[in-house]
Structure 1
Amino acid sequence: MKEYAHVFLGTAFTSQSPKEVQILKDHLFFVNADGMIEKIIAPEDTEYPNIVRFYQGKENFHQLEDHQYFLPGFVDLHVHAPQWAQAGTALDIPLNDWLNTYTFPIESKFSDIDFAQKVYQDVVSTLLANGTTTVLYFATVHKEASILLAQICADKGQRGLVGKVVMDNPDLTPEYYRDENTQTALADTEEFILAVKAIGKNAKQGVYPVVTPRFIPSCSDEALQGLGDLAAKHNTHIQSHCSESDWEHGYVQERYKKNDAFALHDFGLLSDKSVMAHCNFLSDEDAELFAETGTAIAHCPISNAYFANSVIPIAHFHSKGVEIGLGTDISGGFSPSLYDNVKQSVISSRMLEDGVNTKLPAEQRGVPGSRITVNEAFYLATAGGGKSLSLPVGRLTENYSWDAQIIDTTNLPLYDSNEDLQDVFQKIIYLVRPENILEVWVQGEKVHSRD
């Protein structure tokens, strides 16, 4: 019988489609030395009892208890790593004021590598403890600190996609926090790309450089074009903000006489490796361009409630073939937990569908067909995120990475041993806190344990 690096036995929940959660009750998961799920066997298989007997008692055999379950590791498509230092503050002021009064000053401190080390160590550990195994990170304009974030992801075993932020437009960035000039911004970005690629070669789970114009207002045309060229040259992922708020969306329309999506496309910044955060004000034409180019949306429902001036029509964009995943948007979103953002995405969609202005008749209040289910929100946090990044993550299925959370439901209200497993799944999604996450695995390696 073939020996595997790890064999796991237990009940798992994973997305079979955007609307359907697959329940794999008491299945065996065989993980090879590369950390990939090579084979899954159901209890009905004739070889199942023999395999269990063969592996029982071995160090690489992991059998869950009855009150424990597997979930895929979460994929967070939008985190500002330096903003962990200001999480939970100043969420009651407009976006532009928030950036200039709080965010840019805190990010400027990351020229201090010791300060960066302290914050980045903590944010990566915190996200792992919340079940997040893959993260798309914005760092800062500082090349050395941004490389440090990639190294910390590699060391802690998190799959990190890290971007050195580019901000070279002196009209909309403060003098104390911007790239020295366009040429420096592009040169530093290329050096950053090469350094992170070198780190990634020695990281089993993969660590990746990301071309990262902060957003159009912070960048010159020359920087945007240069970044598009670098992404093509080095075949990197790309991230930015797109049509987030009234202010940002309006600024781009005034500057280019078109929406963000088409402006970004003109600079070569939309591709099947691009993820654009927020996108609340996308038109149908913008969404069709996203679907055509393979560009994904990072939906950040908690952050949007504070800064986006709107509720994004996720169901509508999904119906148009746009790839969508979830993001916490630390610290525009106060919570580092994608569990919280799964819940908020369902809540926000219901508010969009039902409307909020009680002075209007019920049939005029909302946008019909906007609600999403918890199954769909779970898909966004897992398989949708993996698809958005074009990586084999976010599902517990063959030929995908063994990125998994082991959930302990001891303190959840599960009193009936015969409770329907679909109901168990929903209770997990709505009620789990970090203390329920017993272990987290990335690429077949245990990277977090509650103990």
Structure 2
Amino acid sequence: MKQDHLLVLASDEYLLPGFIDLHIHAPQWPQAGLALDRPLNEWLDQYTFPLEARYQDTEFAQQVYERLVPELLANGTTTALYFGTIHNTANLILAKAAIKFGQRALIGKVAMDNPNQTPEYYRDDSAKVALQQTEQFIQQVEALHVDIGGNVTPVITPRFIPSCTDETLLGLGQLAQRYDLPIQSHCSESNWEHQFVIDRFGLHDAQVLDKFGLLTNRSVMAHATQLDTQDAALFRSRGTAIAHCPISNAYFGNGVLPVNRLLNQHNKVGLGSDISGGYSPSLYENCRQAVQSARILEDGVDTKLSPEKRGVINSRISMKTAFYLATTGGADSLNIPAGKIEVGKMADLQIVQDQNNCFSVDPADVLERLMYQTNRNNIKKVFVGGQLVHQN
């Protein structure tokens, strides 16, 4: 957006901050919406790992990533925190796609070397290889900045604790400290995963991640539906953020993240689509699910119990809170000056058409209606750093 150019919105258009998606498995885009009725471990073994293994094929990687990035931008996502695969060539293709289409992206080479929890056809050969390849990707992204610029940041990415050996977890924590980089992983995301870590270490995910130096004020941990109060306090003390993935959690989380309680306790929380555990690339849809899930948590679902025993009081959140998660909450989680329209923030913006603007003019009502009714077709323009990156 040139400084000497005035863009005038139509009477039915509104300017919103760009959305920040804190949890996307980029290689899983081709399977979005598939097998969501399966348990998490089966879904990984039978669908996800075979798909991700295909990214050794660079033509396939380019085909997917050059579709995914524009799709996210068209849905208003200006900043994306991505899991890649174990293949650095494919991860660089994702980085170049983000640069080509103008998205602000944080991308991690996935580390996964535990032979007991990863298939032979898709894992790092050893901890040494996982760490070497992670460091190589960091350096490759730095070289990209020199060659072609862009807004791409490498991210330290242990897939999750079950997938990694102790040596890899420790080495990744050391790399994060050496290069001062963000960290992303999954934490206490389901009954199965949470119990697996307890059986292996005698500790919760949060304590194990902290032991290996992976909980910092630049860490974003996805899901966290099984966190207890001590885990949440540890996250708070380290400044670690939670990526709330409400659509995905409805299928695989075995619980509802207590967003209202965490925010009241000053934990950092943002929003994630979790493609493809979440079927939709739209954070608008994830905002809606966040409100629904919180309402279900408060009301409860077991009608055999009396209403006062059925749910968790003070759990519901408003759509304004969900909007916060998708904007300011995400920006605070990544420590970037975005998520708001104000002086000093990056001009990451979306222009959205209100298809029912004749019904009310109260700003609070308009925002709520936009958040519930906006779809891809209503997002007319998207800007990243003031540059037009999508026009409908």
TM over 0.5: yes
Q: Which residue, out of 365, 389, 392, partners 1:447?
A: 389
1:201 to 1:427, Cα distance in 2 relative to 1, 3 A: farther
State the distance in 1 between where 2:306 and 2:328 align.
38
Aligned residue for 1:382, secondary structure, equals: helix
Answer yes or no: is 1:196 the counterpart of 2:141.
yes
CA offset digits 1:116-175 (Å, max 9, x no partner): 000011111100000000000000011111122112111111000000000100011000
Higher strand share: 1
Amino acid at match of 2:380: L
Amino acid at match of 1:374: M
1:342 to 1:205, Cα distance in 2 relative to 1, 3 A: farther
Q: CA RMSD in A?
A: 1.2
Q: Which residue, out of 360, 365, 373, partners 1:423?
A: 365
Determine the structure 2 residue equivalent to 1:5: 2
Determine the structure 2 residue equivalent to 1:79: 24
Deviation (angstroms), 1:61: 1.0
Amino acid at match of 1:415: C
Answer yes or no: is 1:235 the counterpart of 2:180.
yes
Q: Which residue, out of 321, 325, 342, partners 1:380?
A: 325
CA contact (8 A) 1:154 1:200 kept: no
Determine the structure 1 residue equivalent to 2:209: 264
Deviation (angstroms), 1:197: 2.3
CA offset digits 1:351-389 (Å, max 9, x no partner): 000111111111111000111111110000000000000
Residues 164-243 of structure 1: pairs in structure 2 closer than 5 A: 164-200=109-145, 206-243=151-188
Amino acid at match of 2:370: I
Determine the structure 2 residue equivalent to 1:17: none
Determine the structure 2 residue equivalent to 1:103: 48
Q: Which residue, out of 70, 92, 96, partners 2:15?
A: 70
Aligned residue for 1:393, secondary structure, equals: coil
Q: Which runs of 4+ in 1 moved over 6 A?
A: none
Determine the structure 1 residue equivalent to 2:334: 389
Seq. identity, %: 52
Amino acid at match of 2:363: L
Aligned residue for 2:213, secondary structure, equals: coil
Answer yes or no: is 1:360 the counterpart of 2:305.
yes
- 5+ residue gaps, structure 2, are none
Determine the structure 2 residue equivalent to 1:414: 357
Deviation (angstroms), 1:258: 0.7
State the distance in 1 between where 2:124 and 2:48 align.
16
Q: How many matched pairs?
A: 392
Aligned residue for 2:243, secondary structure, equals: strand
Answer yes or no: is 1:432 the counterpart of 2:374.
yes
CA offset digits 1:64-113 (Å, max 9, x no partner): 11111001000000000000011111000100000000000000000001
Deviation (angstroms), 1:201: 5.0
State the distance in 1 between where 2:315 and 2:218 align.
27
Aligned residue for 1:88, secondary structure, equals: coil
Aligned residue for 1:63, secondary structure, equals: coil
1:5 to 1:204, Cα distance in 2 relative to 1, 3 A: farther
Amino acid at match of 1:253: I
What TM-score comes out, normalization by structure 1 length? 0.85
- 5+ residue gaps, structure 1, are 7-57
Amino acid at match of 1:421: P
Determine the structure 2 residue equivalent to 1:250: 195
Aligned residue for 1:164, secondary structure, equals: strand
Aligned residue for 1:384, secondary structure, equals: helix
Deviation (angstroms), 1:283: 1.0
State the distance in 2 between where 1:95 and 1:203 align.
39
Amino acid at match of 1:63: V
Aligned residue for 1:310, secondary structure, equals: coil
Aligned residue for 1:240, secondary structure, equals: strand
Deviation (angstroms), 1:204: 6.2
CA contact (8 A) 1:408 1:436 kept: yes
Range that drifts further, 317-326 or 335-344: 317-326
State the distance in 1 between where 2:190 and 2:380 align.
38
CA contact (8 A) 1:205 1:442 kept: no
State the distance in 2 between where 1:83 and 1:140 align.
10
Aligned residue for 1:160, secondary structure, equals: strand
Amino acid at match of 1:422: A
Determine the structure 2 residue equivalent to 1:136: 81
State the distance in 1 between where 2:150 and 2:61 align.
23
What TM-score comes out, normalization by structure 2 length? 0.98
Q: Which residue, out of 219, 223, 238, partners 1:278?
A: 223
Deviation (angstroms), 1:403: 0.2
Deviation (angstroms), 1:312: 1.1
